[in-house]
Chain A
């Protein structure tokens, strides 16, 4: 089956710093989503981005489907950005959403 790899697994930032999270996937997909999981377990939708570039405030994302990767950019990080960031993909031949292992982000004041 498709493999989804996220990097780095853990990231510690000082407040105000910028960061880039990466998601690589091993096969073609027709859906890619980025989520932020807060400490209570809620998955918050950040981007639905099967291809192209989107921006929402301090966050932006780019998916290059032909090269099978997506990037999540966080600028001017805040302590409230702390949590786990998941990339999830839907392979073209199935209805499953396959999740990566996540990147755990800690932003220090």
Chain B
């Protein structure tokens, strides 16, 4: 148990659906991250939030929409996804993104887009 939880753990959705992924951290951290892990590819950073403000958007398509209502919660809203968006989506948190500190990851949501 890393102190970072994600729900749901598995999600199957059609291309016209709208769904949301949820992440919660219980570590008192100020920064939260979304990563994508596709088959045969390294983890790719999608978004970084620091103190509820988005500080980095790594050229992610607009069909992925993040939301950070407070420093403990992070959402990823999904709409009109493509089959190639099927992947493992991992959430992470750290104390402060500016200082290169240690990141802790949740268990991930395995997403399948039909």
- Residue numbers of A with Cβ under 8 A of B are 4, 29-31, 33, 35, 40-45, 48, 50, 86, 88, 90, 92, 95-102
Contacts and interface: CB of A to CB of B under 8 A. Distances in A.
Q: DSSP majority for the A interface?
A: strand
Contacts of A101: 42
B105 A95 contact: no
Interface in B35-53: 37, 42-45, 48
A31 B100 CA distance: 5
B46 to A, nearest CB: 11
A96 B58 contact: yes
A45 B104 contact: yes
Interface residues of B, number: 26
A33 to B, nearest CB: 6
B102 A95 contact: no
A62 to B, nearest CB: 17
B108 interface: yes
Nearest to B48: A95
A86 B43 contact: yes
Nearest to A31: B100
Given A41-B88, A43-B90, A45-B2, A97 B45 contact: yes
B7 interface: no
A44 B98 CA distance: 22
Given A41-B88, A99-B43, A33 B48 contact: no
Contacts of A45: 2, 102, 104-105
Contact of B97 (A33, A86, A92, A95): A95
Contacts of A95: 48, 55-56, 97-98
Interface in B64-98: 88, 90, 92, 97-98
B20 interface: no
